[in-house]
Amino acid sequence: MNKTLKLAFILPLIFATPVIAVAAEAHPVEIVGMQPSSTDATVDSALNNSVEKTTPEKPEKKKTTLAPVATAEPQAPRAEPATPTPKANANDYTIKSGDVLQVTVWKEENLDREVLVLPDGTIDFPLIGSFAAAGQTPAQVQVIIKNKLRSMIPGASVAVLVKATLGHTASVIGQVNKPGEIVMGHNLTVMQALSQAGGLTPYASEGRIIILRTVDGKQTSIEFPYDDIAQGRKLEMNITLKPGDVVVVPTASLF
């Protein structure tokens, strides 16, 4: 029993001896705080700079200063351009003897009718009788009818339209394929009239074509240079015909 106790005390001492010996042989190391060298400082500075550069800078918030709003001075209203007064032109149709007019009176069906402009230039209309219409525009005839109906139909609304321009005619005679009268529903030049007449025959004297026109009760003659106009020259001589004009195409002489 005593031996066993002795071994129990001796064995731990034996095994612990090398550890103590090794620990005794180790030299203690003294740790001394060292000042960083200049090289280390440079490296640290470079690192710090790189960190600063790579770190995105937050934009400074700028205070928005609202500028005072300038009060707009009231401007004088712009004057709108005045509506130009329509000038007389080719669209201001003048009624002629032979024209057919359509007259309409609003809410008066018995007064809606077609009227013919007689050779003397007058028309007959119910409740009014006869009055001159030739030489006036449809708008002027409309006012005349309205004024004449005022005593019988107060506030009458009247419309006058030209239904057929039979009074605006010109004639083409002589050496054309279809001589006769041409109704001019629009402005018509001499060349257009000759075209509607079927063109010239082989016997036409192209250099002696004339236009007969009545001016102030007197008949005048206007030469028409067909050859030049056909070749694109003297185009100003391709005049617009007027109602009552007569285009004469003579026969060419054999000699």
DSSP assignment of 55-100, as one string? SPPPPPPPPPPPPPPPPPPPPPPPPPPPPPPPPP-TTSPPP-TT-E
User: How sure is the predictor about 83, in pLDDT bands with cuts at 50, 70 and 90?
Assistant: very low
User: How sure is the predictor about 47, in pLDDT bands with cuts at 50, 70 and 90?
Assistant: very low
253 has a pLDDT exceeding 90: no
* Tokens linked to 216: 């102030």
- Residues in Cβ contact with 54 at an 8 Å cutoff, skipping those fewer than 6 apart: none
pLDDT, residue 165, reads 87
* Tokens linked to 189: 């030049």
User: How many CB atoms lie under 10 A from the CB of residue 169?
Assistant: 17
Please say whether the beta carbons of 139 and 94 come within 8 A.
Answer: no
* Percentage above 90 pLDDT, the chain: 49
pLDDT, residue 133, reads 94
pLDDT, residue 63, reads 53
- The top-level CATH class assigned to 100-164 is alpha beta
Please say whether the beta carbons of 71 and 113 come within 8 A.
Answer: no
Residue 189, strand partner residues: 240
User: How sure is the predictor about 156, in pLDDT bands with cuts at 50, 70 and 90?
Assistant: confident
Fold: same for 100-164 and 169-249: no
- For tokens 């010239």, the residue is 200
Domain 169-249, what fold?
A: Outer membrane lipoprotein wza fold like (3.10.560)
- From CA 203, how far away is CA 250, in angstroms rounded? 9
Nearest to 172 by CA among 197, 201, 199, 202: 197
User: How sure is the predictor about 22, in pLDDT bands with cuts at 50, 70 and 90?
Assistant: very low
Task: Report, as an integer, the average pLDDT of 22-39.
Answer: 44
Task: Report, as an integer, the average pLDDT of 237-245.
Answer: 93
31 has a pLDDT exceeding 50: no
Q: What is the sign of the dihedral through the CA atoms of 129, 135, 136 and 137?
A: positive
Q: What is the end-to-end Cα distance of the chain in Å, rounded? A: 182
User: How sure is the predictor about 107, in pLDDT bands with cuts at 50, 70 and 90?
Assistant: confident
* Tokens linked to 239: 């005049």
Of how many residues is the chain composed? 255
21 has a pLDDT exceeding 70: no
- Residues in Cβ contact with 171 at an 8 Å cutoff, skipping those fewer than 6 apart: 179, 180, 181, 182, 245, 246, 247
| Residue spans per domain, the chain | 100-164, 169-249
pLDDT, residue 123, reads 95
Helix (H, G, I), strand (E, B) or coil at 15: helix
195-214 pLDDT, tens digit per residue, is 999 999 999 999 999 999 99
51 has a pLDDT exceeding 80: no
Q: What is the sign of the dihedral through the CA atoms of 242, 92, 127 and 164?
A: positive
To the question of pTM greater than 0.75 for the whole model, the response is no
